[in-house]
Every structure is written in C-alpha cells, then in structure tokens.
Amino acid sequence: MAALQTAATLGFTRVGLASARAAEPDAVDSAPAIVVGSGYGGAVAALRLGQAGIRTLVLEMGRLWNTPGADGKVFCSTANPDRRSMWFRTRTEAPLATFLWLDVVNKDISPYPGVLDRVRFADMSVFLGRGVGGGSLVNGGMAVTPLQSYFAEQFPAVDVTEMYSTYFPRARAMLGVNSIDPAWFESTEWYRFSRVSRKHAANTGLKTTFVPNVYDFGHMQREAAGTATRSALGQEVIYGNNHGKRSLDKTYLASALGTGNVTLHTMEKVKSVSRAGDGTWVLTADRFDDTGAVVETKQYGCTYLFLGAGSLGTSELLVRARETGTLPALDASVGAGWGPNGNVMLGRANHLWDTVGANQSTMPVMGIDDWANTANPVFAEIAPLPTGLEHWVSLYLAITKNPQRASFTYDSATGGVKLGWTAAQSAVSMRMAKKLFDRINSANSTIYRYDLFGSADKVFADDFTYHPLGGCVLGKATDNYGRVKGYSKLYVTDGSLVPGNIGVNPFVTITALAERTMARVLAEDTAP
C-alpha cells in the first residue's frame, strides 16, 4: 500500500523515454502505453508493462481508496452506509433491498464517488466496483478456476493446457489466493450458515465444494480470536473491506507502481478514443471532483492502448468509437456476446432448528456444484447474509449455464450505450435456478423466502448481475490474444473478452486471460 500511495501522488509527468522501449508519440500528455481502468484486466496490463520497462499511465475514473474518513476507516460498513458506499447516489441500492418486506436495508446518503456502482439498463442492472482496484474493492473474493472442459467450450481457440499450467497458476499466485482451514471451517460459528446449506445439499444428493478466496484466512481466524480488527467478520464487503482482503491495490497494482514505470491518475473518465494520422492513440478524459463536476477535460496520446474498463466500460468506449466514426474499422461484433454469467440470487427459509447463526463471515467459501448435470447445469455459491441476528435464511448466488446473449448499441441521444438484454432472457436463468432449488426445498421440506428482493413476493433476483461478461469477445471482436480487430496496438484485457458465461465467479479467468495477452503482446508487439 505504501508503494501505491507514493507513486499515486506523483501525478503524470511528461515522461523521459530513455528507459522505454517504444517511441514517444507526438502529443502533449503522452506515454508509450496507456491503460484505461484499474480492475483485474487493467492491473495485469499495468504490472507487466511496467516490468517490461515501458512507461505506462493508468487512467481510473474512481478514487484511490486510502484515506480514512472521520470514523478512522477508509470504507464504511454495510450495516451503516454513508456517502462512501455508492457512486453518486442519494440512497443506497443494495442487492438485497428488503427484509420481511421492510425497507430497512437501504439508507439515504449524500452523492459522492463511492465505491459500489449499480448501472441500470432496461431489464438488467449491473453491480460494479469504482476506484483503484475496480471490482476487487467490493467483491466477495471468491477465486474460482473454471472447469477445464467448460473453459475449452467457451474458448475453443485457446490452448487450455497452457492456460491451466501457466496462466491460471500465475494469476492465482499474484492474486494471493488461499483456502480456509477445513478444521476451522467445521468448528467456527462464522461458517455455520455454509454447513447448514451443505447439509441441505447433501440431503438432496448434491455435491458441495470448497472455494478458495483472496481474503487472508489467517487474518480472519485472528478476527475470530479477537486479535485482529474485524472486517469479514464485521459485516464488511460490498462497500469495501478495511482489512484482510487482498484487493488489487495491495497485489498487482502495488507491484505495478513499484516498478517505477507506472503512474496512476484517478477521477478521470475516458470518454473517447481516436487515432491520429501518425498512428498515435488519442484519448479524451474528463477529470471531475467529489461533487461530480467536470473540472478539466484532458487529452492524452500513446502508442499502445490497453482497455481494462470492464465489460461495460470497454464495450461502451468501443461501441461509441465505431458508431461515431472515430474508429470506423472496428469489427461488427464489438458490443456483442454479452451475458450476466447466468446470475440469480435467491433465499430459502429454514426450519427453526436449522439456525444459520447471527455471526456470519462475509466471504463465501463453499458452492453447490451441479454443473455436471447436463440437463440443468448450475454452480451455486452459498452466500452469507450477515445481519448480527438469527434469520434462518440460506442465501445463494446461482451461476446458471444460460446460453442467451445480448448486445450493446449506441444511444446517440445520450452518447451512452443501451443493453439489449430482456426479462425473457433472465427467465432462462431463473428457471434453471428454480429447478435446482425446488429439488433442495423438496428434499428438506423447506420453502423460498419471498421478502428479500424489494417487490412483493419476488423469489428470484434475476434482474441484476455481479458478473458482467462480454461485449468484446476473444476471437471475435479481437484476435485470439485480445488484439482488437481493425487496428494495431489496441488491446482489450478485461471481462469483455469472456463470452457471457464462464460457469464460476469470473475474476481468476479474467486475470489469467490478461496474463496470457500480456505475455504474447510483450513478446511480439513491443520489441524494439
């Protein structure tokens, strides 16, 4: 973190290029390489460019989350959210909107560049992390490597042996993936909720599996013992973890800034990309303040441009560039192949004797794995619902093998994009989740919870996703290594490469694919 703070305060310099391998483009604020976004794809690109001695500028629209507020904490708690919780909102918009149908979850807040965003399209809303580290700041840390056979199905042109022997292990090592001690899991009150769901799955004849995480389980055990400040055990997650989580600012990005070649600009949103006659990439970015007011519009130039703005951010930038004519040669498939990873959230009501515990860790460590069921493939994460009270709810985030896909289209009225995903497409995921959980309810004589998702009697939350994927799919809008078709020296490294579904939580896959892209690009495209 120290490295991150120091380098981030340096600001962007008009770089001396003695150490860089590429020639400096002829623009005012320029760097050999620019990375847009600092989530998984952006962080991998920044580190590997920096290590290769290439001066790199990272542009991130969110804040650097390193300054404590009046309460001494960087992030606010889920139970008591304040302006730090959400991206320019007057009221929080948590995924679980209600409890016992009561509007007790969401709170009024003042607008601020908070850490969690919810982007609403007509029939689908998408939760995103905003800030240095992107989704790693707000996510549940579940670090899952997909089933090799399904990865091969989704990426038929990728060498799976190389992925599973080189890039997945590299990604896991850098991300700091670790696993819960099984003996502690069996004994601690903090995972009683997982053990109850495991029992109900076993009663149904279903298999459960432990899932690794980037949260430091040593820290978590110290939290339980009372020797470390509580974060996962203090109800912190979707609005940020103050301790314990190895988010990207502590892993990839700290190392990237540690190379001395990477500079970071925060609160700058890239709004357009074009190409000058000499091949220089030209970016326009709005720098804004804590009220959201634009205080400066900046221009940047670079030779190599890496897009890591996430599935929504990268798709929007490229669709806009193609449709407004700044990058007319982009492929027609840019904007296509989007899916929500088949996400459906739901709750079950347990019998009175099946208590899930007032104390629940916010980091999920187990899933129900029914992916091998070809008639209805589902992987369901056993999710916590930490309220500090016994509520008898078993909560799940189901990932279903929904084959439906949608496209982004340019909206000339707003300058943004629309997403063509429909409620009927979500219903495909919902039916798959329902099939699995009807079996679990039937085997355990339990019922669904009807009170958790805002509108009356809504059981399946299939209208939001944590896992936006696609929009610039590998091998379609790009070549097999993330090089964008139609232009040279333009790359995508984020979740927009994944074709809508990967069967498990996606950040390990996004990271490993970005590692693969960077290895190839640095070997072939940037040689002196």
Choosing from 81, 141, 377, 384, the residue that interacts with ligand FAE (CB under 6 A) is 141
> Which residues are bridge partners to 91 per DSSP?
108
Structure tokens given for 503: 């069967």
Residue 524: active-site member? no
Nearer to ligand FAE, 112 or 127 (CB): 127
Enter the tokens of residue 519. 């290895």
Binding mask of the shown chain, residues 208 to 227, with x at each position contacting ligand FAE by CB under 6 A: --------------------
Which of 50, 62, 234, 471 binds ligand FAE (CB under 6 A)? It is: 62
| Nearest alpha carbon to residue 128 among 137, 195, 271 | 137
CB of residue 444 to ligand FAE, shortest distance in Å:
26
| 234-253 positions binding ligand FAE, by CB under 6 A | 238
- 């952006």: which residue's tokens? 42
- Unique residue bearing structure tokens 């298999």: 207
Other Cβ atoms within 10 Å of 483 Cβ, number: 19
Asked if residue 309 binds ligand FAE (CB under 6 A), the reply is: yes
Q: Which of residues 314-353 bind ligand FAE (CB under 6 A)?
A: 317
467 is catalytic: yes
Please tell me what DSSP assigns to residue 388. Answer: S
Burial class (CB in 10 A: 0-12, 13-18, 19+), 201: buried
Query: Catalytic: which of 24, 236, 381, 515?
Result: 381
Residue 146 in the binding site for ligand FAE (CB under 6 A): no
Query: What is the closest distance, in whole angstroms, from the C-beta atom of residue 208 to ligand FAE in the complex?
Result: 17
Using CB under 6 A, count the residues that bind ligand FAE. Answer: 39
Q: What is the largest CA-CA distance in the chain?
A: 71
* Residue 501 · residue 401 · CB < 8 Å: yes
Q: Verify binding: residue 130, ligand FAE, rule CB under 6 A.
A: yes
Q: SS3 for 201?
A: helix
Classified as helix, coil or strand, 442 is helix
User: By C-beta, is 128 or 444 nearer to ligand FAE?
Assistant: 128
288 sits near ligand FAE (criterion: CB under 6 A): no
The three-class DSSP label of residue 398 is: strand
At closest approach, how far in Å is the CB of 155 from ligand FAE?
A: 16
Identity of the residue, 188 or 315, whose beta carbon is nearer to ligand FAE in the bound complex: 315
Nearest Cα to Cα of residue 275 among 229, 315, 322, 235: 322
Just list the catalytic residues: 381, 467
Q: Where does this chain bind ligand FAE (CB under 6 A)?
A: 36-42, 59-62, 127-130, 134-135, 138-142, 238, 269-270, 308-311, 313, 317, 466-467, 494-495, 505-507, 510
